[in-house]
């Protein structure tokens, strides 16, 4: 199983830079998701790794083998990179049944007849398409076709598998189930998965590492919980998490290597960092996840219920305070009257401080509101 390394990979069309100087180390057996909004360069990156798009500059290796190098003039064709593909515009063979579509790749690889039927049955079951086994693609819905495409790609157990939004045509429930199956399949197959999605929840739940891009530029490459808890900058902080992290302007004055006095939302507080930090500006943004704003009758902060969004298991409460609207998430179903007074706290040591100008995260810690 290979490890894939990208060094200074750039893709440029005329003056437009689709992917800008990307460095990435995709470890063996990892499940890496390329995440970002539409047009940020995810598909282009995947296509360059797969060999379907030629980078303008840079180098790509599979283990120690260079598969692309602009300097050394190396460009190994996709078929010789021994990888499986599943692209946004997957196409099934129209003249073959579902079973034949899945079996075809295995026949080409000269699998034994018996092994083929076992594997096809396995894939039909996992992808929940057993009842369509004898149908032709034109007799299936888009989501069903998509599941056949996944089955066909996974069947030969490729050592590297590229998937570009493979669950995009499925409804929410089926998407959830397929996520579970993909995660299991990844473990069972022991292959490296490189997966494209613009869905942050999908990236959070599936990946061993997230590669978050914006306008062709890598923002952060780290395990999901690190991206969630220690976002590298304001872009990442805002992109990951639903409801999004509260970002509040504040002024800060350093008191000691690990503490600062902060003014925000019309109150004063002491920020106690988890580690010593540098503060070169007084203009900061505080990043507060909605789960760190518990509502409590004795809370030190007071606002008004701007709107309440009960979802059953949890409720998002939008709290208006000093011209800001904050999101708080509480467990269970509650419903506040619009404009009702709400008291709440800021808890935990996962509150983040960002340099407002550069957007970079500079510290994490706790906020003690002064009474």
Point out which residues bind ligand ATP (CB under 6 A): 13, 16, 18, 36, 38-44, 198
Pairwise CA distance, residues 195 & 179, whole Å: 12
Beta strand 57-62 with 65-69 is antiparallel
On whether the CB atoms of residues 313 and 322 are closer than 8 A, the answer is no
* Of residues 196, 217, 167, the one with CA closest to residue 32: 196
**Cβ-closest position to Mg ion:** 43
Secondary structure of 299-333 in HEC code, one letter for each residue: CCEEEEEEEEEECCCEEEEEEEECCEEEEEEEECC
Q: Residue 281 Cβ, how far from ligand ATP at the closest point, in Å?
A: 32
Q: Residue 290 Cβ, how far from ligand ATP at the closest point, in Å?
A: 26
In the complex with Mg ion, which residue's Cβ is closer, 19 or 103?
19
In the complex with ligand ATP, which residue's Cβ is closer, 13 or 114?
13
In the complex with ligand ATP, which residue's Cβ is closer, 13 or 72?
13
Residue 38 binding target from ligand ATP, Mg ion, none, CB below 5 to 8 Å by type = ligand ATP
Pairwise CA distance, residues 53 & 11, whole Å: 9
Q: Residue 310 Cβ, how far from ligand ATP at the closest point, in Å?
A: 31
In the complex with ligand ATP, which residue's Cβ is closer, 32 or 330?
32
In the complex with ligand ATP, which residue's Cβ is closer, 44 or 246?
44
Beta strand 65-69 with 217-222 is unpaired
> What Å distances lie between residue 201 and 55, 276, 293, 343, CA to CA?
29, 32, 21, 30
Which residues are CB-neighbours of 263 under 8 A, at least 6 positions away? 250, 251, 252, 269
Residue 39 binding target from Mg ion, ligand ATP, none, CB below 5 to 8 Å by type = ligand ATP
Q: Residue 54 Cβ, how far from ligand ATP at the closest point, in Å?
A: 11
In the complex with Mg ion, which residue's Cβ is closer, 37 or 358?
37
Q: Residue 191 Cβ, how far from Mg ion at the closest point, in Å?
A: 22
What is the Cα 81 distance to its own chain's centre?
26
In three-state secondary structure terms, 27 is: coil
Q: Which of 36-44, 309-317, 327-335, 361-369 is the region at the interface with Mg ion (rule: CB under 5 A)? A: 36-44
43 binds Mg ion (CB under 5 A): yes
Q: Residue 91 Cβ, how far from ligand ATP at the closest point, in Å?
A: 17
> What Å distances lie between residue 225 and 31, 134, 264, 293, CA to CA?
14, 43, 27, 19
Backbone angles phi, psi at 368, to 5 degrees: -105, 110
In the complex with Mg ion, which residue's Cβ is closer, 3 or 198?
198
Residue 108 binding target from Mg ion, ligand ATP, none, CB below 5 to 8 Å by type = none
Q: Which of 37-45, 135-143, 322-330, 340-348 is the region at the interface with Mg ion (rule: CB under 5 A)? A: 37-45
In the complex with ligand ATP, which residue's Cβ is closer, 41 or 224?
41
Q: Residue 20 Cβ, how far from Mg ion at the closest point, in Å?
A: 17
CA dihedral 351, 355, 360, 363 (to 10 degrees): -40
* Of residues 366, 253, 344, 335, the one with CA closest to residue 298: 344
Pairwise CA distance, residues 211 & 57, whole Å: 20
| Number of residues counted as binding Mg ion (CB under 5 A) | 1
Residue 44 binding target from Mg ion, ligand ATP, none, CB below 5 to 8 Å by type = ligand ATP
Q: Residue 195 Cβ, how far from ligand ATP at the closest point, in Å?
A: 12
In the complex with ligand ATP, which residue's Cβ is closer, 44 or 191?
44
Q: Residue 34 Cβ, how far from Mg ion at the closest point, in Å?
A: 9
What is the Cα 15 distance to its own chain's centre?
28
Q: Which residues bind Mg ion (CB under 5 A)?
A: 43
């Amino acid at each position: 199983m290979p490890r894939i390394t990208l060094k200074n990979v750039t893709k440029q069309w005329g003056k437009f830079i689709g992917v800008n100087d990307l460095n990435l180390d995709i470890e063996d057996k990892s499940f890496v998701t390329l995440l970002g909004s539409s047009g940020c360069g995810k598909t282009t990156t995947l296509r360059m790794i797969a060999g379907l798009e030629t980078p303008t500059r840079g180098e790509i290796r599979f283990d120690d083998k260079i598969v692309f190098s602009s300097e050394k003039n190396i460009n190994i064709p996709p078929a010789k990179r021994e990888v499986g593909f599943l692209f946004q515009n997957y196409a099934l063979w129209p003249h073959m049944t579902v079973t034949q579509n899945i079996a075809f790749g295995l026949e080409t690889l000269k699998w034994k007849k018996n092994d083929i039927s076992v594997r096809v049955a396995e894939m039909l079951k996992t992808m929940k398409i057993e009842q369509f086994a004898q149908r032709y693609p034109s007799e299936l819905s888009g989501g069903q076709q998509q599941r056949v495409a996944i089955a066909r790609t996974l069947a030969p157990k490729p050592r590297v598998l590229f998937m570009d939004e493979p669950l995009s045509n499925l409804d929410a429930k089926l998407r959830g189930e397929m996520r579970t199956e993909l995660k299991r399949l990844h473990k069972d197959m022991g292959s490296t998965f490189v997966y494209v999605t613009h869905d942050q929840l999908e990236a959070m739940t599936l990946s061993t590492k997230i590669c978050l891009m914006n306008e062709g530029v890598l923002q952060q490459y780290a395990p999901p919980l690190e991206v969630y808890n220690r976002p590298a900058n304001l872009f990442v902080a805002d992109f990951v998490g639903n409801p999004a992290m509260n970002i509040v302007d504040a002024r800060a004055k350093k008191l000691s290597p690990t503490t600062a006095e902060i003014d925000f939302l019309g109150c004063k507080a002491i920020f106690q960092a988890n580690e010593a930090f540098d503060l070169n500006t007084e203009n900061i943004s505080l990043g507060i996840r909605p789960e760190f704003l518990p509502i409590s009758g004795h809370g030190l902060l007071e606002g008004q219920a701007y709107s309440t969004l009960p979802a059953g298991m949890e409720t998002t409460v939008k709290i208006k305070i000093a011209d800001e609207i904050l999101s708080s998430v509480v467990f269970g179903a509650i419903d506040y009257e619009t404009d009702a007074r709400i008291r709440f706290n800021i808890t935990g040591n996962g509150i983040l401080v960002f340099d407002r100008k550069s957007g970079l995260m500079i510290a994490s810690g706790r906020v003690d509101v002064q009474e």
